[in-house]
Amino acid sequence: MTGARPAAPGLRAYAAVTAAYWAFMLSDGALRMLVLLHFNALGFTPVQLAWLFLLYEVAGIATNLYAGWLAARFGLAATLHAGLALQIGALLALAGLRPDWSVAASVAFVMAVQGASGVAKDLAKMSSKSAVRLLAPDSEGTLFRWVAALTGSKNAVKGLGFFAGAALLALAGFQAAVLLMAAVLAAILLAVVLFLPAGLPAGDSKARLAGWRSRDPRVNRLSLARLFLFAARDVWFVVGVPVYFQTVLSDGTPEGRRWAFFAIGGFLALWIILYGAVQAAAPRLLRAQGLGPAALTGRAVTWAGRLVPILFALALAALVAGAPSAWLTAALIAGLFGFGYVFAINSALHSYLILAFAGAGRVTRDVGFYYMSNAAGRLLGTLLSGLSYQAGGLPLCLATAGVMALLSRIAIAGVGRAGPAPDPA
């Protein structure tokens, strides 16, 4: 990005970008829950459910390859507006889904719509995160606090979206729910277009597409660690645990399914909300005041190692139980909340480190490459979630997540050994 850092901290621009990002992530969380629960109730298998989300993640990978250049070329405000507009279009398209379509036609249609939503999500995410890097004051520790606040609050709002999606599905039905979300998001987009204050850098017509991959080995290795970190979450989060909970909670009747919708949506919403709260509090929990990127990289290595035993312990518990049971369900709830705490610290550290490592002249490209890896991790986790649960049930699903966490720990250790490289682009 070639625009100069604003002379003032840009608090109004930061607040406006944050509000728009909140609105987007509320709809994103609700849409994910609507699609998962609606099609699970229709009898889709775990692998078919995973397929519904695959193009969403593939689109995220492709979008992040080019989103940095788009922001450099057209400006961050333009990419933020485009993300919101595309999400509205995806919601309106999804309202056209018909119950008499075949399974193959329904899967293909929802995959295409989810792909558009994936493009929208990553345009909005890249725009918001890059804006933090460009608007944050230079004072010590401010960047970590600003990015932790944005990321943590975003995830809390997305958690509310999970519950809102489940509630709307139970109370209003699928079509009415997506139309209502489209209307609310359209109002938010109009407000952002009309009232977004100055402060975000404008586009540069001379920006070139080449050079999307960072020349800094720390950025590349951190991106690999991010890939496996989010794969470790989504292996259990996307299909495995929600399907297990629906098996436990629903008796197959319409009333039983409705109760399961609320319970599963409530659990995932609370998980995401608490995860976001821990992310926002990460600078204080880590006592990070005055610590630089080198010290916080060391903290990231330590916290990555704490994820691994949690997942393998839960996999062992599921294997010993052999079938759904009250004690296993209780162990899963407690263990996954513990996982969420440790995962949130890891995620907050990663989100700070990428902005600290990003080259000042190519922040949108480095952030785009990093979030391409984030999307690749979600894609890998989504695919493995359906495959592992169908092949080996909950024990294999959780053990696969443990392997992903171990690979993330190995990758983040390489960041500390890598030195920065000149990046004149």
Q: Is the pLDDT of residue 66 over 80?
A: no
Three-state DSSP at 396 gives helix
Q: pLDDT digit string (tens) for 311-345?
A: 999 999 999 998 889 899 999 999 999 999 999 99
Contact present, 131 and 200 (Cβ < 8 Å)? yes
Which residues fall within 8 angstroms of residue 377, CB to CB, at 6 or more apart?
226, 227, 228, 229, 230, 231, 234, 404
Confidence of residue 422 (pLDDT cuts 50, 70, 90): low
Report the alpha-carbon angle 151-349-66, nearest 5.
Answer: 65
Q: pLDDT digit string (tens) for 49-63?
A: 777 787 787 887 878
Share of the chain above pLDDT 70, in %: 86
User: pLDDT: is 98 or 139 the higher one?
Assistant: 98
pLDDT of residue 308: 96
pLDDT of residue 345: 96
Q: Is the pLDDT of residue 211 over 60?
A: no
Q: Is the pLDDT of residue 240 over 70?
A: yes
Q: pLDDT digit string (tens) for 140-173?
A: 567 788 788 877 887 788 888 888 888 888 888 8
Exposed e or buried b per residue across 147-184, where buried means at least 16 C-beta atoms within 10 angstroms of its C-beta: bbbbbbbbbbbbbbbbbbbbbbbbeeebeebbebbbeb
Report the alpha-carbon angle 268-322-35, nearest 5.
Answer: 30
Q: How far is CA 357 from CA 149, 293, 360, 365, 415, in A?
A: 19, 8, 9, 12, 11
User: pLDDT: is 313 or 35 the higher one?
Assistant: 313
Confidence of residue 4 (pLDDT cuts 50, 70, 90): very low
Beta strands in 264-306 (DSSP E): none
Q: Is the pLDDT of residue 424 over 50?
A: no
pLDDT of residue 310: 97
Select from 297, 285, 307, 162 the least CA-distant residue to 229: 307
Q: What is the DSSP letter of 97?
A: -
pLDDT of residue 411: 94
What value does the mean pLDDT of the chain take?
Answer: 82
Q: Is the pLDDT of residue 136 over 80?
A: no
Contact present, 224 and 411 (Cβ < 8 Å)? yes
* Structural domains present in the chain: 11-197+212-417 (1.20.1250.20)
Q: How far is CA 84 from CA 122, 152, 387, in A?
A: 10, 20, 32
| DSSP bridge partners of 123 | none
Taking the CA atoms of 356, 358, 362 and 366 in sequence, report the sign of the dihedral they define: negative
Confidence of residue 269 (pLDDT cuts 50, 70, 90): confident
Q: Supply the pTM of this predicted model.
A: 0.75
Confidence of residue 1 (pLDDT cuts 50, 70, 90): very low
Which one of 111-125, 216-230, 256-270 scores highest in mean pLDDT?
216-230
pLDDT of residue 72: 67
Select from 94, 78, 2 the least CA-distant residue to 361: 2
Question: Among 6-10, 23-27, 134-138, 295-299, which stretch is predicted with the lowest mean pLDDT?
Answer: 6-10
Length of the chain: 425
| DSSP bridge partners of 188 | none
pLDDT of residue 261: 76
Select from 76, 58, 56 the least CA-distant residue to 67: 76
Select from 58, 46, 53, 382 the least CA-distant residue to 235: 382
Section 376-389 average pLDDT: 90
Share of the chain above pLDDT 90, in %: 25
Q: Is the pLDDT of residue 234 over 90?
A: yes
